[in-house]
Structure 1
């Protein structure tokens, strides 16, 4: 076992980072890029664990020795991870990291700052981060994570060493899931359906409710035979995504409210101090922002599953090699092939991307964007 065991199908990355841990090619700033689910943040955290470990993360006790375990568990005093549930990472959050970066580590190794979703940094946050990276502390290491290098300002990425992760193959993901206790057949399904997204694959392999929701989404193309059914599919997808997002955030919201009340002594004293009102308003605003982000994330995942059906139809129609992502609904895919052309299905994928952009970039209401998309995807009549 080692700290790298969570990285699936990333042997070149592991070799490069292990070499840096050994002192060859080490630098103060790193940029981890790769498609969603490839393990960008996992790679950064594993790298941090290896840097803090006296044995480089591959000793006999790793990853269960103290240094490795505390980094992987998120409790190491010299490793900070900034992750956001909001739509962006603001300058105040980055300034706090910059302040911490200026301090000497408590231990005898590195002060490590990991920024997940670095593509969500605001312009002000980027400027604050750039100054810190330009003037590095000798024992501070920055690790930024983003989907692509283009998602990070050129002035920042030019000062970072690039680490590019790839999408693991279905066989690699299935092997990983079997190692975690999944049944081989279910692991194979989850590996295909997740399209290389490790977190999604784990959820599909071990959570029946997740599998059921995905099956409902991938069955949509075959149902889009009338305007009414298009409206129904849009409403159902938006509602289901909202319910799932609310279920995820409700418990966290309640726990944060309890913690806030306790910190201001509301329960013990039976009254609210003057400072409580603004603090509660700020918390509720942050929770609304997080709920919106989570809702969009769940919808976005559904759109990815929807695109996979049209991708399968194109692959089947053109005789492309390889297994279908949605082998379990091959009959529906064959129906799409019979009722439309590869060119039309490629345009449909473009319409799904357009709906995604409307929601994520232009703040178009989810229901409206989905209704417009479903009408565009409707199966042509008379084919």
Structure 2
């Protein structure tokens, strides 16, 4: 159930937004209040949607704000406090120059708060070279700097990083609890909240999006139904193309307005009037912005396709469950008759082969494989039981 923060004598409310992680909150509250319990570097791990970033921000607020200083705590939670440096990359990987800037900030003394806190929300997106940039800062940390890394699993980071941090594991919430939270937050019906929590596989953010976006629910249903109808090469090619097209349209919709606003803001900062020609002297800054936006668009597209692959994993996970005689915990209950038909037609080995191919496809997309080719290959396995 949700954590209900009881304000202590200092009136702190920074933990209110943390949901369902009572043990983790107790650990971090104790560390923030007692220097003897505080470690210079933390790694918060948990499944997507478990609240890693929210917990990291709450911990940062407890570390930075003086006891009773709720204004400072609100600044940290809003991301505007000078002693908080947070990195949440919207690109394929965290770039090495971004890591170097974090390390530079780590050696600054706190300006207003008790500690300087560096939060890396997507630590699993660091390459080996980028991870190595952090190592010295983690090995020889400044006295008043605390690192907080977030990742789905500690296995996503290099052993050299893992050995220098304290790992805090978050629990995965129950579907009923996520549904109750979503219903409370959004006012949607209990039925839609439960379905959204189940389809999102307990991912709170994704469940909220599904619950409040009828088009997102419809797109998921259309994709799942289409994949269940794949029977041959032609179907595989057609459905792969549809998935990439929809993901591309979604990525454009998510980034187009923001790209335009960023471009306009940069031009205003550079003193270039709207509609005027861009002077050669500032074109490099505009080009740098456009390059960042292209990388963000690539990340958005891959994230969209990855969400589809997550849905397909849940689909064939349900098939395996049925093949082993368990039908009481289906994620995709709405398709039970179709799933039972697949479970009867396929061997468990074929289903597991498909699940392996979906996992391989997710990994391949992270290695810059063309999305359309990757999806076509994966769906051929679905259609024909082929192995690569």
1:287 matched to 2:287? The reply is no
Q: Is the 8 A contact 1:81 1:113 kept in 2?
A: yes
What SS does the aligned partner of 2:228 have? helix
1:159 counterpart residue number = 164
1:120 matched to 2:125? The reply is yes
Deviations 1:149-187 (A, max 9, x none): 222222222111111113211122112112213321111
1:50 counterpart residue number = 62
What SS does the aligned partner of 1:126 have? helix
Q: Is the 8 A contact 1:355 1:370 kept in 2?
A: yes
1:18 counterpart residue number = 29
Where do residues 169-248 of structure 1 align in structure 2 (5 Å cutoff)? 169-180=174-185, 181-248=187-254
TM-score (norm 2): 0.90
Deviations 1:324-380 (A, max 9, x none): 10112212212212221222211111111122222212x221111111111110167
Q: Distance in 2 between matches of 1:69 and 1:111?
A: 16
Which of 324, 328, 341 matches 2:330? 324
RMSD: 2.0
Q: Distance in 2 between matches of 1:53 and 1:179?
A: 30
TM-score (norm 1): 0.91
Q: After TM superposition, give the deviation of residue 4 of structure 1 in Å.
A: 3.1
Q: After TM superposition, give the deviation of residue 52 of structure 1 in Å.
A: 2.8
Q: After TM superposition, give the deviation of residue 8 of structure 1 in Å.
A: 3.4
Check 1:344–1:107 CA distance in 2 against 1; reply closer, same or farther (3 A cut): same
Which of 67, 76, 81 matches 2:81? 76
Q: Is the 8 A contact 1:359 1:366 kept in 2?
A: yes
Q: After TM superposition, give the deviation of residue 235 of structure 1 in Å.
A: 0.7
Could you tell me which runs of 5 or more consecutive residues in structure 1 were left unpaired when the two chains were aligned.
none
Which of 358, 365, 368 matches 1:359? 365
Q: Distance in 2 between matches of 1:342 and 1:49?
A: 49
Where do residues 248-259 of structure 1 align in structure 2 (5 Å cutoff)? 248-259=254-265
Deviations 1:56-106 (A, max 9, x none): xxx8x9xxx312322221112211111111111122212222222211112
2:306 counterpart residue number = 300
2:356 counterpart residue number = 350
What SS does the aligned partner of 1:378 have? helix
Q: After TM superposition, give the deviation of residue 107 of structure 1 in Å.
A: 1.5
* Bigger mean CA offset, 6-15 vs 351-360: 6-15
Deviations 1:112-144 (A, max 9, x none): 110111122233432221111222121111111
Q: Distance in 2 between matches of 1:303 and 1:187?
A: 22
Which of 122, 129, 138 matches 2:134? 129
Which of 274, 277, 281 matches 2:283? 277
| Higher RCO (Cα < 8 Å, 6 or more apart) | 1
Q: Distance in 2 between matches of 1:340 and 1:5?
A: 48
1:147 counterpart residue number = 152
2:45 counterpart residue number = 33
What SS does the aligned partner of 1:145 have? strand
Which of 102, 106, 114 matches 1:101? 106
Check 1:365–1:80 CA distance in 2 against 1; reply closer, same or farther (3 A cut): same
